[in-house]
Amino acid sequence: MPPSATKRSHQPVDVEPDDAQPWFVKDEKPLGDWLCAEGPYQDHINKLCGTNPALGHADPENSAIPLSRREVWVTLLRADDSHRYHRIEDLDASRKPEGLTRQLRDSPAGAKNVWIVENINRDVVAILGEHFKMDPTFFLGYERSSKWRRYAHEPNLAPVLPTLTSSVDFFSLKYFDLRDFGPGIESYSVSCADTGRHLYRTKWNDFWISPSIVDRSCAVYHRKTEKGGWDIVLLCDPPLRHVHVWKPHPTPEASESQYHEVSIQWDRAFQGGYPDFLPLSDSLSVQTSGPPRDSLREDVSYYLMNHANSLPTRSPPAGMDIPLFFVRKVIASHYMQVVNFTASYLAQFEWPLLRRESLEEFTTTWAQARWSDIQGVSRRCTEYVADLESIFLSLNVPFGEPRMDPERNWGNTDLDFQFLLHRAKVIKIRANELNNAFTGLTGIVGNAQANREAERALNEAKRSVREAKNMKTLTLIAMIFIPLAFTCGLFSMSDNYIPGGGNFWVFFAVSVPLVLLVFSGAFLGELGYDSDGEWVWKTFIDNLSALVTRKRESMP
């Protein structure tokens, strides 16, 4: 049996997606070629493209890992008459698809089979779809990774009506997995290299931290067969082994996006993963290792092979409801962990705001960065709510407030999902309230910074006024002594003009009018400056005329 987390060696290399041409360029290939290998089932898909336009295009989010290049593992579990599950075979369906065909063909009548398919490719879609006569929307729901697509040339992501969702023999479930693989990848644009699904990276105070929130998807098909047998096909995502780190592109239509592939050296569930959902036995001697928590394939296999008989005593699931019960519980446990982490993450943003007598140490840059981070949390909460609501429709869970089961039945999965939806909505409200708080904080901090800048500017202005007064005093002194020095130089201060000499009065007779002339010239020169600080003759004449007019009006 191959390990579920087999490592593959990859050297980082810049490559471009296979689908290099724009999506609006019409292709000559059949519309279903991207989803299914050539054969009868592909012909069936082509005929259905008119009823569901989404079948005509692959998800551009998965352009780096098209279905034709994906590795697929299939685990076959079979239940005996005593409801014990046995692991029949693990198949490498990407290298030997004929092994899957053989198992499907040779399955005995009345067998109770659980086919756990890790990832899909075109050959596996053709084999499973033709054997079980599946609606291709089953594979489409699992393949999609995009959250939305708004351009006309992009694939249609619109879901079917709720009435149709609850009436078919298959459903798709979106959930999230918290993974810890270290802070070495410093980018927000990261996706799983096996499925194309996005990884939400976490940053705190400019440092990349754990965990990463990995988008996950699974799809379940079920049918009853002859002689009391049944088949369940579970499509699920593989463990996180390597990722694509993308370079941003300028427009959604650009096809020149590049990425490099990074191998994950070690990957583990964040904080050990979700807690076991089975009640503890009364016997203290009972020991269990717990699920691997690396992939849905191994977790569901663990519970079916070890705890298929440890079911609730009140209204226990039976038959093919047993695998569906464990799938529900595992996915609910993942949601419980991610919802709890999101609440804890928000609490980190609240803590710096508590017990503060002053906000002087905060800056607008810091507050704006926290606002942006919380906006990302709010958007993720919106996704949690939307995906949980989709699960409600797929699993026929009643919408409404969670109400405790008076029988205390731990197998009540409806209560699990009702509580999770309630918590996700509460956390989204809290994120929005915290965002408003940081918006107000940004204003408060901005006003405080503006006041500090105004005080600094006022101090600078006062200093400038003092300097201007000092310069005016020095200028006044210079204007007095320069004429005196000029007069001294003019008369060379011979004996007749020095203090005590007979002509000393001439010094004052020349100096005093000269000082008055200098002051008058400086005053008249000021009249020529306009509002821009430039000396203009017109301004000089206008100001001089106004001065003369005022003088005349002031005379009696």
Q: Which domains does the chain have, with CATH numbers?
A: 10-248+259-272 (no CATH), 333-464 (1.20.58), 492-554 (no CATH)
pLDDT value at residue 23: 42
Contact 258, 64 (CB under 8 A): no
Q: Which amino acid is at 309?
A: N
Helices (H), 49-157: 97-106, 122-132, 137-143
Name the more confident of 515 and 128. 128
Query: How far apart are alpha carbons 112 and 183 in whole angstroms?
Result: 44
For 194, the token pair is 């096996």
Question: For strand 112-118 and strand 170-180, is the pairing parallel, antiparallel, or unpaired?
Answer: unpaired
Cα separation of 49 and 57, whole Å? 10
Q: Would you say residue 20 has pLDDT above 50?
A: no
CA distance 490 to 263: 93
Q: How confident is the model at residue 391 (pLDDT cuts 50, 70, 90)?
A: very high
DSSP 8-state assignment for residue 363? -
Report the pLDDT value the prediction gives residue 249, as an integer from 0 to 100.
63
User: What pLDDT is recorded for position 491?
Assistant: 54
Residue with tokens 């010094």: 507
Q: How confident is the model at residue 183 (pLDDT cuts 50, 70, 90)?
A: low
At which residue do the structure tokens 């009436």 appear?
167
Is 501 a residue whose pLDDT tops 50?
yes
Distances (CA, A) of 87 to 74, 81, 254, 297, 529: 11, 15, 46, 12, 97
Of residues 276 and 503, the one with the higher pLDDT is 276
Residue 356 CA from chain centroid, whole number: 30
> What's the pTM value of the predicted model, to 2 decimals?
0.77
Nearest to 218 by CA among 234, 197, 195: 234
Least confident residue range of 20-24, 60-64, 306-310: 20-24
Q: What pLDDT does 155 receive?
A: 75
Which pLDDT score, from 0 to 100, does residue 500 have?
Answer: 63
For the segment 43-50, the average pLDDT, to the nearest whole number, is 92
pLDDT value at residue 196:
92
Judge contact between 233 and 225, C-beta under 8 A: no
Quote the pLDDT of residue 504. Answer: 66
Predicted pLDDT of residue 483: 64
Range in 85-99, 184-198, 472-486 the model is least confident about: 472-486
* pLDDT surpassing 70 at residue 27: no
